[in-house]
Structure 1
Amino acid sequence: MALPWALAILSLLPLVSADSAHPECANLTGTPITNSSLDLISGKWFYIGSAFRHPEFIQWAKSVPSSVVYFTPNHTESVVYFQEYITHEDKCLYNSSHLDVQWENGTLSRNVLGVHYLAYVIPTKDPAIYMFAYYPEDKEKMGLSLYANTTQVTPEQMSEFHGAVKCMGLEVSEIISTDETKSLCGPLEKQHEEERKKAKEEAA
């Protein structure tokens, strides 16, 4: 079985074309990735919530009250390095690796235990948030996740997420929200931050 972080972030397929009768859903078709758009997801992001139809994804979301991810794009290597801290039930899970960038297709990908996963980054009006879509062509598996650069999102940001959820054919009532106050990864995240700071000081 794929790792929880793979289920939450990378078990994605390219998005189907949006219904032309609903122009507000046009941003769900995805666009090619550029250096500028890739830089928009650079830095620290908080997993805010998700809406899933796949029973396994729903179970995962309910068992993860908090998740934080750091993205570091490398344009020349066409990769995005990441570090993720997931509070899963009563423990902290840490993952560190990279995603391959497919510029023209607008996707991020990774091989996990021989399985190739694609991530389609969804363009947003507000650069302080971004979304990933999950199996949009499959009513039994489809889903959408929201990430933000702060633990609290504004009503406008949540409204954009709600709109995307509805465009995919999901219901707002299906959204499972996180609670950063329940994070168990603070000490490990702080430890890694101090180690990185020390390494930079020594290198200087």
Structure 2
Amino acid sequence: MALPWALAVLSLLPLLDAQDPACAPLKATPITNATLERISGKWFYIASVLRKPEYQQEARGIHAAFFYLLPNLTDDTILFREYQTVGDQCIYNASHGGIQRQNRTLSKTERNHEHFAYLWLTKDPETYILYFLPEEEQNKGVVFYARKQEVTEEQLKEFHEALKCLGLQGDEILYTDGKKDLCGPLDKQHEEERKKGERES
């Protein structure tokens, strides 16, 4: 699934530099080893505003989702392990991506296609935002992630500020519901299998 990655991202730094000073984070976070260490590990997909029709349709079908982001700092690649509750089933998917430090983008490869997104590190280290295609009014989008399924009002406030910076509306937000998660048991099973493999190696 391509969510929440853009089909293509152009070089937007000149555009982003022209943003209102209050939207300075939209200049895209420089990607360093420290940045990658901060966003590594387990994250929950909390909410999104997705104007691209196929992404929006996909998002509407996701009741709950979490994933593991595992960057390799040596070769600038990323392993994604994703768990999505869609309907009454848990869908697991593993995929790979890349780190484009010069362009300040992260990418994800699915179905032989590479999708790119810009990273916005929030003030709270327990959350972050991905945004894409800000220059395309009909296709732009923002996705909000957190370390825990339940987020605070302060954390949500930063998400709403990001929406405002991109000209997106609060009534466009699609939220997930952690109470509907069906992937917990599979995640636990995979974790036990990994630990067993580590002990035997």
Counting only pairs closer than 5 Å after superposition, residues 4-153 of structure 1 correspond to structure 2 as 6-9=2-5, 11=7, 13-14=9-10, 15=12, 17-18=15-16, 20=18, 22-153=20-151
In structure 2, the residue matched to 1:173 is 171
Give the Cα–Cα distance (whole angstroms) in 2 for the partners of residues 45 and 91 of structure 1.
Answer: 20
In structure 1, the residue matched to 2:189 is 191
Cα deviation digits, residues 36-71 of structure 1 (max 9, x gap): 001111110000000122222222111101111101
Cα deviation digits, residues 88-144 of structure 1 (max 9, x gap): 122211111221111121111234334331121112111110111132111111110
Query: What count of residue pairs does the alignment treat as equivalent?
Result: 199
* CA distance 1:88–1:9, shift in 2 (3 Å): farther
* CA distance 1:112–1:99, shift in 2 (3 Å): same
Give the Cα–Cα distance (whole angstroms) in 1 for the partners of residues 91 and 8 of structure 2.
Answer: 21
Letter in 2 for 1:7: L
- Higher mean alpha-carbon deviation, 49-58 vs 155-164, is at 49-58
Give the Cα–Cα distance (whole angstroms) in 2 for the partners of residues 21 and 146 of structure 1.
Answer: 20
The 4+ residue runs of structure 1 with deviation greater than 4 A are none
Task: Tell me the SS of whatever aligns to 2:62.
Answer: coil
TM-score relative to the length of structure 2 = 0.91
Gaps of 5+ in 1: none
TM-score relative to the length of structure 1 = 0.90
Identity of counterpart residues, as a percentage? 46
Give the Cα–Cα distance (whole angstroms) in 1 for the partners of residues 167 and 32 of structure 2.
Answer: 28
Task: Tell me the SS of whatever aligns to 2:48.
Answer: strand
Give the Cα–Cα distance (whole angstroms) in 2 for the partners of residues 75 and 115 of structure 1.
Answer: 22
* CA distance 1:116–1:21, shift in 2 (3 Å): closer
CA-based RMSD: 1.7
Give the Cα–Cα distance (whole angstroms) in 2 for the partners of residues 166 and 112 of structure 1.
Answer: 30
Give the Cα–Cα distance (whole angstroms) in 2 for the partners of residues 79 and 173 of structure 1.
Answer: 35
- CA shift, 1:10, in A, is 5.0
- CA shift, 1:152, in A, is 1.0
1:158 aligns with 2:156: yes
